[in-house]
């Protein structure tokens, strides 16, 4: 980034988790590192905006922003460097401004929720142009939806009956909570239906068949 207080670029490469018999091997990807950055900056909410960086893959790079200011970048290693080192998979790079990382907010105590947190998973098919932050923001636009986060992305090599060319499937988990009363199945179902309707209207998303 060229700033005096910037960190040096870091590179992540290899399996995302230790090998185990119950889970297939998975290489670390953009979303793994994105989640690490979000955890590092929490409770502040970072946004990720498509960008370009000379060391990163064009089209697979994002600027990391806090309060509208760019504090770093994340993306796959540029193909010319990957080919030069003959790497079988693309490493993920990230670079963050050290001063922004060190700027921490003091935690504020909150009461323990009296009600149970409810989770529901959705598989949403969206166009490739739909950004993660826009989709998550729309899903969270309900007082009952306390959190919405992406835990899987599926894009077939060839179009299928339910995922056309230029589309991908996003697995999203919603966390629902009402501080004052227990959520009934009817209210949970209504909140999920409302969330799907919002992303359909705003982003053309649909539930995966």
Q: Given a cut of 70, is residue 22 above it in pLDDT?
A: no
State mean pLDDT over 144-167: 91
Chain-wide mean pLDDT for the chain? 88
Per-domain boundaries in the chain: 10-102, 118-207
- Intrachain domains 10-102 and 118-207 with the same fold: no
pLDDT greater than 70 at residue 72: yes
Phi, psi of 107 (to 5 degrees): -65, 145
Residue 105 reports pLDDT greater than 80: no
The tokens describing 164, both together, are 């056309």
SS3 labels along the chain? CCCCCECCCEEECCECCCCECCECCCECCHHHHHHHHHHHHCCCCCEEEECCCCCEEEEEEEEEEECCEEEEEEEEECHHHHHHCCCCCCCEEEEEEHHHHHCCCCCCCCCCCCCCCEEEEEEEEEECCCCHHHHHHHHCCCCCEEEEEEEEEECCCCCCCCCCCCEEEEEEEEEECCCCCCCCHHHHHHHHHHHHHHHHHHHCCEECC
Tell the CATH topology of 118-207.
Answer: Alpha-Beta Plaits (3.30.70)
Q: Enter the pTM of the model.
A: 0.62
Residue 15: the pLDDT is: 79
CATH number for the region 10-102 comes to 3.30.930.10
Residue-wise pLDDT tens digits, 109-140: 777 777 888 999 999 999 999 988 899 999 99
């Amino acid at each position: 980034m060229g700033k005096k207080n910037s960190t040096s670029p870091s590179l992540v490469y290899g399996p995302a988790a230790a090998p185990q018999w119950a889970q297939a091997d998975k290489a670390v990807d953009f979303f793994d590192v994105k989640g690490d950055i979000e955890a590092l900056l929490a409770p502040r909410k970072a946004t990720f905006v498509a960008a370009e960086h000379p060391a990163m893959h064009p089209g697979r790079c994002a600027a990391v922003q806090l309060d509208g200011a760019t504090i770093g970048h994340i993306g796959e290693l540029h193909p010319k460097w990957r080919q030069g080192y003959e790497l079988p998979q693309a490493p993920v790079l990230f670079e963050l401004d050290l001063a922004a990382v060190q700027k921490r907010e003091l935690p504020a105590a909150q009461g323990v929720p009296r009600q149970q947190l409810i989770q529901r998973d959705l598989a949403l098919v969206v166009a490739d142009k739909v950004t993660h932050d826009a989709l998550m923001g729309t899903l969270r636009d309900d007082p009952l939806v306390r959190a919405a986060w992406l835990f899987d992305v599926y894009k077939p090599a060839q179009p299928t009956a339910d995922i056309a060319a230029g589309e991908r499937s996003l697995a999203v988990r919603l966390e629902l909570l009402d501080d004052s009363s227990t959520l009934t199945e009817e209210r949970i179902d209504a909140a999920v239906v409302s969330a799907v309707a919002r992303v359909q209207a705003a982003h053309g998303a649909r539930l995966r068949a």
